Chain A
Amino acid sequence: MKKVMNYENRMLVILTAVCIIFFTIMKPDFLSVNSFSSIARQIPEIGLFTLAMMLPMLVGGIDLSVIASANLSTILMSMFMAANIEKGEESVPVMLASIVICIAVCTAVGFFNGVIVVKFKIPAMLVTLGMQMVLTGISLGITKGGTLSGYPQSFRFIGNGSILGIPAQFILFILASAVLIVIMQMTSFGTKLQMYGSNQTATGYSGINETALLIKTHMLSGAYVGIAAVIMSSRLNSASAGAAANYLMRTILIAVLGGVDPNGGKGRVSGILWAVVLFQCMATGLNILRVNSYIVIALYGVIILLAVIVRTRKNN
């Protein structure tokens, strides 16, 4: 009765295989340790951002403030570290405290998004659009458009170091994904979330606390933004108001590719994981083939449309 993998995920795996074969034929170098370690280094950030995007999409919303939130939190984190650690010195407690600050800021942003969405009954798209502007505004105001850089060595390990040959951020990503799978599949919160996304009225009648559920969803999403922000900032060794601006579109692309229904209800962590692998193989492959980066941007747009078209066809 139970299948190892559902139809959508199988399609994603097949597409990934096709992708790898195609790029290997075009450029045999693709099948190298280098490209795979580059893929493994890039998957975590975009993957975590997409998981953060998936949560509000499951309840029929979207979060356009994820990148702005990540940038503001890394700027604050960077300022905190700079204020408490002398240049060239290391302090693990301060570093841990700054990571906590980073994740807390993003979670707080999620909290405010959730409160506005649920208390004023405004579409999440508009709330997070406004929030994105506010957050970017604060980041710009603080940094005056500049870039904060230079983290202690121990912090840079998160985004650049390896444990037993596996990139540190990849291990973090696997852990965070596993936690989210457990939350979605095995806790009452996860079940309520999916039920709510499918039919808000019926779950309300069943005694589910809509306010708490939506706020928790946005806060959880915020926490994942925070983890992604730590990894990203560590890898880049900097923080700025305009970092990773092009990630927003990619997270939506991967979420749609991974089978999240933009109208709410449907979507699985596993789908996102396979989709992010497919996406990163493609991105790395196109990079190795030296395809013009703007063509790649256009191609991503085409892929969103194709994913949507295929899904619309299937539902008919």
Chain B
Amino acid sequence: MRVPSYDDLTPQRGSVVGAPTTLFACLYEGGDDVAMSLGDVRVTPPAVAIAREFSPRIAVAGPRMVIVDVSGLGRLIGAPPVIAAEIDRAARQAGIDVRVAMAPTQTAARLLAIGCPPRMVVTGDVAAALAPLPVTLLCELEALPGGLSPRDRARPFDTLSRWGIATLGDLAALPPAALSSRLGRRGVALQRLARGWDPRPFVPDADPPRYRERLELEWPIDALEPLSFVLARLLDPLSAALERADRGAAAVRLDLRLVDRSTHARVLQLPAAIRDARVLRTLLLLDLESHPPRAAIDVVAIETDPAPARITQFSLLERALPSAETVTTLLARLRALTGEARVGSAGLVDTHEPGAFEMRAFGVTARGAQAADRDAASPPAVTLRRSRPPAAIRVRADGGRPVHVASPRRGQPSGAVIDAAGPWRTSGSWWQRTRWNRDEWDVALAGGAICRIFRDRDTGRWFMDGVYD
């Protein structure tokens, strides 16, 4: 096929837009496997990133397809074949297998990308370039309303097949009036697509806004107090931008470039979208208190991941819960005070291991009051105060039954055993490091304390598991 030179480019006849000379490139992923079902794989982000390298005006046109407006790149890169070669080279460098097609209209570029060899450039007679392509390629280009059954979708193509219309050229050559009377508006729309005409103007996808602020300091700072003022200066406009877009920060990334050329990066995942500058500053400072940078700071950069702002609807019938900002700040302060893993909610785990639990993140969830599950007249459950970890004790036994407990730790119950129940043997997880194998006793000591003690059957040692209280 002859590839016309760039000088032969003329305004495309029949373009619905009637726009000045334009040139579109279509990146179609999937390589040579045209027989794959279109629509089963989404366009991967690397293809979008490659498209953005060449032009900011891109649109994801469908499954595995990106349309790029490359009009005007002639001065930067060269003739259309050179542009196509550059796009192909960039894709190969990124490890992506794409077909590249260029044409004066989006529709033509898409059809050529699907139905032609991997790199195809058409700048002259689009209809002639599309003519030999099969008419079934139009299936994926049609914009049909949702809810249409597969049979209705295929109806015009069945009709065209019975008529012997197999190629786009055959369809384009049909008289429009006769086609309209037999296939209706949908038939006319298909014919326009077959001729390479765009049904609507090119609308590029909006570039996702980035909420990022950066400041290079005049002199390095190495204390949190001056850094607090810098963070306030950066977070105020960020907060305002988020508020204008009705967004909140789902995560905050803080990059501190240090004087030793390293970067101290911290990422805070927030439980809810927050845009209050003071709260964000408090959370960042609390995090830096626990994870301070090792050198003075040269550059401060903050970026937030936006998320839709949450809508909080309070109830007139329930007690108001603290806001997400309040809880997040409180948890950050508590973690800075006691440690990361010691603040949260307890969760029971599905195991027979005594005392097993897991720590979970504490969050505010609106839930109404619940009816008491336990009968009010039933006796309360016996509560155990755990000794964590179990404290080693000395036990004197008589016939295997404990008669005296001595604890070396001050404040722990000790004394003669006046009553005892046991042994209750329990073991488990023998194939794991957390294995246990013990005999438990409930003992009442002379001092009044009632304890649970156990003897580890593997080591023979006695431990205090807890005190009933």
The answer to whether A and B interact is no
B residues near A (Cβ < 8 Å) are none
